Chain A
């Protein structure tokens, strides 16, 4: 009798080999939860920049580890994927290492630190410097998905503002910066408009990374666990940072290049090199820096006067943990 079939619930409870060893559901989440998240992701792709509500599940990880991004990754990832996880550009932070090993254990996926080898990249606070391709999916961990939240605390109101495309208050607020400081001081989580319709929070990436989102060949997915929102930017979709004709959007630049690899086009972090206050600037994207050094590029080792950033970011990144 070839057509004997298991009831779906029984079949789902029978773990194939990849799961038998671990005792977890594949990628931790149960199938009903994954279906619900998958449907939300598809709607997000169909409505670029719109925040789709979903039923977030408790994850076995402490808050601050990006449960929204992890749930999106868990719903997307399969045994053929290679996963890269970065935190502030680095693959070797506790956060990134733990998320990587979580998926290696629960989904049996290959992991990598090389941007070019990854099919799925989960990120907190950076976009890799190496341009992403059509064969990649970038998953952002998002702490606060609502770009209008700091102007309007009520969810019903912000939902109405998005529905009516009522973004005047946002523009007024940004323009107040210009009136007061001569420029827009927001340098992380700088709001963008997606496909000329929805204003969207890019998550607390530096605004340096905003231009990379525009017409990116990779699919971009965003997951906010605490606020239970998923949104997306399809490939080759227009993403424009909000600005004004007389004050066009600009990104951070540095007078110096990376002390280790000499890159003049990457986002630099200031690091303390000794206890006498010595400092140097190095690539925030550790894989990018390493690939350049492997290719023979060299920096000045931080010997010359250390660089100064032309714009001082406001101090908001450290509080931007996902829950």
Chain B
């Protein structure tokens, strides 16, 4: 059978219009729709594979309302051969779990993933700009029982196998996967092409096949609200707390920089914080039935990710919310941490010192490096054994693909990228029931403008927590806990994908978490390969300031900076005392990673860039003019108002 490349695509509101509403918030009704950015990269990846495999068939699949046909047409005009849309009102309210199930059911209906020896590759976007979960590719892969690789930048089909470059914290990994398999793409690979007129003419004459759920034999219990293990309980607005920026004034760079120094001295603008109205304690309605849906599940399971023989920082951070949740639950609720790797037994005590009550150690030489299939299988076994009520993962590239795959295995929902986790209750007024205790997972959404609270009703309730959000707990070397060893039987099938090479920059640049000043460069600084950005950081170091340089995504895309230095939603979240953003536009994804900095200084040649709406001090000026001036000043003792220790 000839090769088929299946692209999964979603249509989303134009991200730049998400902030265009009257209140500055997204207005979906007016927003223009586009192909989700990451999906555009996946479409391109499929087209690139076709370049080398001219006989391959390209199909594009989507699930959503009929308006999605517009984007499917677009995909056809790019060169896809066939387009399919699963569209049905009954799909409304589906969460990622139900979506993954629905899409894989459609694919099976089309003849793929029935366990035959087929040649197909699923290419999908890493995540969508209106959902941001990154779950669906993993869930589809698990439903289809095929191997997967997520966060892929480029992939080539070589001798019947996929060779892919996977982005991981601090570096990348080269992987080899057999067919069939599923790949999800980051928006850092080859930019999506523009349609050609000849393609558009062809697309005009190609019909899109539209299915409803009956066509693909999907029962309505498995989709929509009833098929979704999670619900969105509440969406609250996130108000920006940043006061208006102080802009530098001047006719040339030296005046501008002097003005900046003066402004820094006089301090930021402030806004009056309105007294928050005392929240009325909601009365618990009477006569409601109280439901403990846990059915005996108890305890919190976390994953300790091991990178280069050490427990990664986000996994230690995770023990903070894990401990807090355990404390909010019944006495004796335990935090159990799963530690997988090769020769890692000695790390168990460190986890206990940071708050784990029990560490389950799986030591196997085949598990030296993280791989999704065996890790997911081990989790399934441990979950079946321990029956935890909650499972937490750090939202690293590994955690974000592992959690949803496990979710499908245990028929549970997953909440991605949370910034707050709490125990609460859910009042179901329709059925007069109170579900308690329940995990309230809160996550920013709609381009960070809203905070959604997500609830899951299946145990374990799975969430991933955004790296950098929680503090690493203070270790207590005398803390005691149990260490158990577990030797799972793992079939060879778990090891069909190989890791060829893992490349990680210096220590994953942990110093970015500790630096007092981060000098960060964006697209505006690639002209000299960020030379001046680095020089500014060095000059600060010479003054005795702990400074580090970093970058925004486009610079990493261009290969000028390594991924470990990327700040933002898909990179690191940092909170230095001073963040100097140079030539950075201020996309919401970037802001998400640096907005907690105490003071933000923005330098950009374009006064309308949104970075200025998210900074305390600003200079409108050209990179190559302003930064040398700034370096001079630093050499003369200017340290952005920080004291030299």
| A, B bound | no
Residues of A within 8 A of B (CB): none
